Amino acid sequence: MQLTKTGLQDLVVIEPKIFGDERGFFMESFNQRKFEELTGLSPYFVQDNQAKSVRGVLRGLHYQLGAYAQAKLVSVLEGEVLDVVVDLREDSPTYGQSYSIKLNAENKKQLFVPRGFAHGYVVLSETALFFYKCDNFYAPKEEGGVAYDDPNLNIDWKIDISTAILSDKDQKHPNFGHHKPSGVRFGG
C-alpha cells in the first residue's frame, strides 16, 4: 500500500499494491494492520455499502452528526466517479475546504474520508459501482447534507451540473455554513 496526503487534515489517498500477469491481477483491498501503520488511524469498520449508478448521477454531499458520524474508505469497482469531500470540522485548519479525486476501476485508488467530512460523488462513466466501508452504522435521523452547487464551495464536478441526476433529498440540502446546528460535534 502507498499513502498520499491530500492537504486536508487526515484525508488520505491509498493505492493498493497490485500484482498482475496474463491471468489478471490480485490486490489486497484492505488490511487493518497496514492501514494503521500507514495512517496512524484505527477505524473499526462495521458496514460495507455498494451503489450502482448511471452517468451523471450525483450523490451528496452527505454526512452524519454526533455519535453517528462516519469515517469511510471509498473506492470504485467498476467505472469512474469524481469523489468530492468538504471538511466540516470547525476546529480543523482545513475547515470549509474541499478536495476531489477521480476514482476508477483502473487506478484502484481509495480515499479515506474521516469523520466530520461531507462526502459525495458524480458518475463520469456509463455506469459505476461504488464501494465504501463505514466505521459507524447508517442513522437516517442523524443524516445531513451540504448543497452540491453551493457557490461558496465552488466545486467543479467535471460535468454540466444542469444535467446532474439528483435525488429529491440531494436537491434540498442547505449551503455550507448551515450544515449543522450550533454546538453539535462530529464523532463520539
Catalytic residues: 62, 132
Q: Tell me the Ramachandran region of residue 160: left when phi exceeds 0, alpha when psi lies from -120 to 50, beta otherwise.
A: beta
Cis peptide before 38, with omega less than 30 degrees from 0? Answer: no
Q: Using CA atoms, how far apart are residues 147 and 53, in angstroms rounded to an integer?
A: 20
The number of CA neighbours under 13 Å toward the Cβ of 132 is: 23
CA 81 to chain centre: 11
